[in-house]
Amino acid sequence: MFLSDLHRIYFLGIGGIGMSSLARYFHAKGVKVSGYDKTPTALTNRLQSEGIDIHFEDDITKIPDDIDLVIYTPAIPVELNEFRHIKKSGIKIKKRSEVLGKLTQNKKAIAVAGTHGKTTVSTLIAYLLKQSEVDCNALLGGIAKNYDSNFLISEKSDWMVVEADEFDKSFLQLHPLIEVITSADADHLDIYSNINNLKNSFGKFAAQIRKDGTIIIKKGVEINLGQVPDCRIFEYALDEQTDFFADNIRLKNEFYEFDFVTPEETIKNIVLGIPGLINVENAVAALAVAWLAGVTEYEMKAALPLFSGIKRRFDYQVKSEKIIYIDDYAHHPEEIRSFVMSVKKLYPGKKILGVFQPHLFSRTRDFAGGFAESLELLDEIILMPVYPAREKPIEGVGSEMILDKIAKPGKLLSSKENLINNIAVKEFDILLTLGAGDIDQMVLPIKHYLTKTEQTK
Write the pLDDT tens digit of every residue in 168-178. 888 999 999 99
Judge if 398 and 255 occupy the same domain: no
Judge if 324 and 302 occupy the same domain: no
DSSP state of 310: B
User: What is the structure's pLDDT at 343?
Assistant: 96
Q: Which residues constitute the domain of residue 56?
A: 3-95
Question: What CATH number does the domain containing 16 carry?
Answer: 3.40.50.720
User: What is the structure's pLDDT at 74?
Assistant: 85
In a domain, 100, yes or no: no
Judge if 122 and 232 occupy the same domain: yes
Residue type for 27, please?
A: H
User: What is the structure's pLDDT at 187?
Assistant: 78
User: For the chain, how many structural domains are there in total?
Assistant: 3
User: What is the structure's pLDDT at 168?
Assistant: 80
Q: Tell me if 86 sits within 8 A of 93, measured CB to CB.
A: yes
Judge if 29 and 152 occupy the same domain: no
Task: Tell me the pTM.
Answer: 0.93
Judge if 65 and 128 occupy the same domain: no
DSSP state of 84: H
Judge if 76 and 121 occupy the same domain: no
- The pairing of beta strand 178-181 with beta strand 214-218: parallel
Domain boundary among 95, 118, 135: 95
User: What is the structure's pLDDT at 455?
Assistant: 60
DSSP state of 393: P
Handedness of CA 138, 140, 143, 146 (dihedral sign): negative
User: What is the structure's pLDDT at 2?
Assistant: 59
Question: What CATH number does the domain containing 363 carry?
Answer: 3.90.190.20
Judge if 71 and 115 occupy the same domain: no
Domain boundary among 95, 127, 151: 95
Judge if 161 and 298 occupy the same domain: yes
**Residues in CB range of 318: below 8 A, 6 or more apart:** 324, 325, 431, 447, 450, 451, 454
User: What is the structure's pLDDT at 457?
Assistant: 56
Question: Which DSSP string corresponds to 151-220?
Answer: EE--SS--EEEEEE--GGGGGGG---SEEEE----S--HHHHSSHHHHHHHHHHHHHTS-TT-EEEEETT
Low-confidence stretches of the chain (pLDDT beneath 50): 1
Judge if 71 and 161 occupy the same domain: no
Judge if 84 and 141 occupy the same domain: no
Residue type for 420, please?
A: I
- Beta-bridge partners for 181: 113, 217
Question: What CATH number does the domain containing 293 carry?
Answer: 3.40.1190.10
- Residues counted in the chain: 457
Residue type for 341, please?
A: M
Judge if 82 and 169 occupy the same domain: no
In a domain, 341, yes or no: yes
How crowded is residue 415: how many other Cβ atoms within 10 Å of its Cβ?
10
In a domain, 436, yes or no: yes
Quick one: how many helices (H) and strands (E) in the chain? 14, 21
Q: Tell me if 118 sits within 8 A of 48, measured CB to CB.
A: no
Judge if 253 and 291 occupy the same domain: yes
User: What is the structure's pLDDT at 100?
Assistant: 95
Domain boundary among 306, 338, 356: 306
- The pairing of beta strand 69-72 with beta strand 8-12: parallel
pLDDT one-digit tens code per residue, 38-76: 999 999 999 999 999 999 999 999 999 899 999 999 888
